[in-house]
């Protein structure tokens, strides 16, 4: 099969999916091959910045000392001071449901692991540690336009690359960025990918590779 451009495939996927009463996501579906996914290093787990954002809010929370909490207010979507950790633990499942990415000051990580790890770990949302006294504002802004890709033990996985309200050109650029990042992470690059499809939430899949 000859390669098609991401823009051509995105336009076809959008054209084949009738307008819905809600804003559909656009996603890529990647099928891997020739990888032993029982070996942890062969599993994909990555945070990928999208050049044009996801087309919907991506929420980032920071768990920090009161000093850093003050620094990131207005940048992070949610700030949890270390003194408020008890309240976060009580509402851990709701917190994990509304937050996409977590950051935490490194000295807090052991406590967070013990108290929130059973909720955040299985969801792939354990915080990324940040150095005490640093300014994570740029990292927060990068994560607010990022997605998380996790293959776990599955040969097929999906990644959101935008919404149908975004210009197709922007969605296509996001598709290319995600696939380039995935290819770079695989042991044998593109030869470890059997096929790639693009689809809207409820629309038919259109093959890209």
pLDDT one-digit tens code per residue, 125-169: 999 999 998 889 999 999 999 998 888 778 899 999 999 999 999
Q: Do 133 and 155 lie in a common domain? A: no
pLDDT one-digit tens code per residue, 39-56: 888 888 889 999 999 999
Q: Do 119 and 139 lie in a common domain? A: yes
End-to-end CA distance of the chain: 8
Q: Do 82 and 132 lie in a common domain? A: yes
- Residue 191 forms part of a structural domain: yes
| Number of domains, the chain | 2
Show the domain range for 12: 6-55+150-207
Q: Do 167 and 191 lie in a common domain? A: yes
Q: Do 175 and 198 lie in a common domain? A: yes
Closest by CA to 53, choosing from 139, 180, 146, is 146
pLDDT at 1 over 70: no
The domain that holds 180 is classified in CATH as 3.30.190.20
- Residue 178 forms part of a structural domain: yes
Q: Do 44 and 64 lie in a common domain? A: no
Strand ranges (E), 113-174: 128-130, 146-150, 156-163
Contacts 24+ apart (CB under 8 A), 8-13: 9/172, 9/175, 9/198, 9/206, 9/207, 9/208, 10/168, 10/171, 10/172, 10/175, 10/198, 11/168, 12/206, 13/198, 13/199, 13/200, 13/203, 13/204, 13/205, 13/206
Q: Give the model's pLDDT for residue 43.
A: 85
How much of the chain exceeds pLDDT 90, in percent? 68
- Residue 28 forms part of a structural domain: yes
């Amino acid at each position: 099969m000859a390669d098609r451009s991401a823009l051509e495939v995105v336009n076809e996927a959008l054209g084949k999916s009738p307008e819905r009463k809600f804003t559909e996501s656009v996603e890529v579906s990647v099928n891997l091959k020739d990888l032993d996914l029982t070996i942890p290093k062969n599993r994909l787990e990555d945070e990928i910045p999208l050049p044009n954002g996801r087309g919907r809010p991506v929420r980032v929370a920071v768990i920090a000392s009161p000093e850093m909490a003050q620094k990131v207010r207005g940048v992070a979507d949610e700030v949890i001071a270390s003194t408020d950790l008890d309240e976060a633990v009580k509402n851990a499942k709701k917190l994990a449901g509304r937050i996409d990415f977590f950051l935490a000051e490194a000295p807090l990580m052991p406590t967070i692991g013990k108290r929130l790890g059973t909720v955040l770990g299985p969801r792939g949302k354990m915080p990324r540690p940040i150095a005490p006294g640093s300014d994570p504002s740029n990292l927060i802004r990068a994560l607010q336009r990022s997605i998380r890709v996790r293959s776990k033990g599955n040969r097929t996985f999906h990644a959101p690359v935008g919404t149908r309200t975004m210009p197709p050109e922007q969605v296509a650029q996001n598709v290319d960025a995600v696939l380039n990042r995935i290819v770079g992470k695989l042991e044998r690059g593109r030869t470890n990918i059997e096929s790639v499809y693009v689809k809207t939430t409820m629309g038919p899949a259109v093959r890209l590779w």
